[in-house]
Structure 1
Amino acid sequence: MNTFTSLLTYLIRCNSDVTSLLSGTAIKAVISYVTDYITKSPLKTYTIFDAVRSIFDKNSEFLNGSSSQKEKARLILTKIVNSLTGKMEIGAPMACAYLLGHKDHYTSHRFEPFSWKSFVREAMRPWHPDNNDNIVGFTDKVTVRKSEDGKYIGISPVFDYIYRPKIYEDVNLYDWIRRSRKKAMSKKRKEELKELQNEEENERNIHIKDEEDNDTQFAAEHPQSKTHEVKLVKEKFGVVPNFIGGQPPRKDQGNREYYCATM
């Protein structure tokens, strides 16, 4: 039986094997074992065929028996999978988690990729409309989709922030990335907005109702203003931005203007 420590098992919430490493040889052996375990190469082709052949050889009498073809196929496939799983050293919990669609890891926070250069490029556009890509070193990528009316529109996270609802005008970019959640409007919501636009009321009433009902709708300039809406979730549900796109500029070297625009 593996040795264990109650405190460590409680903290990491999983099976553990605690060993005292008092020599360099033992440390090297553990490092070699762990490295070999986490970098296991897939089975060779000849190993797979050998496993399949051995299953057929061991169950030749069953295959020639009176059982139905469906039952024979089910049993043989089950034995082949079990044999290959054993050779690949995949544990039953891991295989079950994969089949059930469970996660292979758990974290205390949710991480979301954040391409920060897209926003820096947009911020510098008024001053460098022609030479923006060379300064930032990045070409913005826009996703093209087909809208409900058959037109092709460009979609970018930058648009979501630029044309955000009026009630979120004071939200900074970092909080926006962490807490904003965009979703498609329901059919009922679209009908309500359509009726609101067609109402023949005086300007003051229309303005007041528009402020109440359209508080989560993107600005009219947004390509998805009629099909999507956005809301800010509570602080405890915010994600952690994973900054991608290279290392941010430094204060003590490089282009000073680029650094200031990024900050």
Structure 2
Amino acid sequence: MYLLDNPDHYTSHKFRPFHWSSYVTEAQKAWNTEQKEDNKVVLIKKNGRIFGLSQVYDYIYRPSELENMSLYDWIRRCERVKILKNNKNPKPKKNSEILINNEAEDHESEFDYDYEGEIEMNADENKFELEPDTALAYKNISTDASLPAPAHDKSLSKNLFPFIYGHPLADSHAIALSTEEKGLVPNFIGPGLPRRDKGDYEYYCMTMLVFFKPWRSGIDLKEADESWNTSFINYRFTQRNCDVMNNFQLRYECLDSRDDFRA
């Protein structure tokens, strides 16, 4: 099948890579100024300036229309796309997973986070530069006049929404929102998710809040005099959120049972 350019496997769902630890690290920066671990970004040159570009930025600078969307739903339903210059004759896209109400829209998929502009990397092009403190950058975005202005709502199709000011690609890219029925399944990539019944419970609470409570900075996730545990207890998770968290735990319980059986 593979040699005939046909799929070599079939699934009932479609999946999207989710490097979850990068988002947790970003949220944690707002509260731990001594944290040494940094996310990594691609360096791009645009309008004579060098900017860092990261998947985390897409959520932090998400459209104001999606202010109340959690990170988990963001991964499932949102995709960054390039705004086409020619907006006159949009053509339908076959089997599109990002169109709303089955309408044809004029954008190109860029889920791989490639940038089709002038890109400049460091001397070793296989390496990325460490990103700046995005939490602090978010607080001061209004002071940097070099950042591009977001695209106008009127120039975008119905299913496209502009980034807020501060995103390096705000003038050339937008967010496409899929319907709930077309939502993808996050494929968690990176270290194992924290457990509810073992390990650092504060870290578990923080991670679940990062996933299911809308935020732009880690400051949005809890009060200054509040523990992650307290914030976790006080936040009203939806039933769907609770089901997903229970599924996380159920997987670990299954692995424990497997190990006990083999012992």
Q: Which of the two has greater helix per residue?
A: 1
Q: Which of the two has greater strand per residue?
A: 2
What is the TM-score with the length of structure 2 in the denominator? 0.49
- Where relative contact order (Cα < 8 A, 6+ residues apart) is larger, the structure is 2
What is the TM-score with the length of structure 1 in the denominator? 0.49
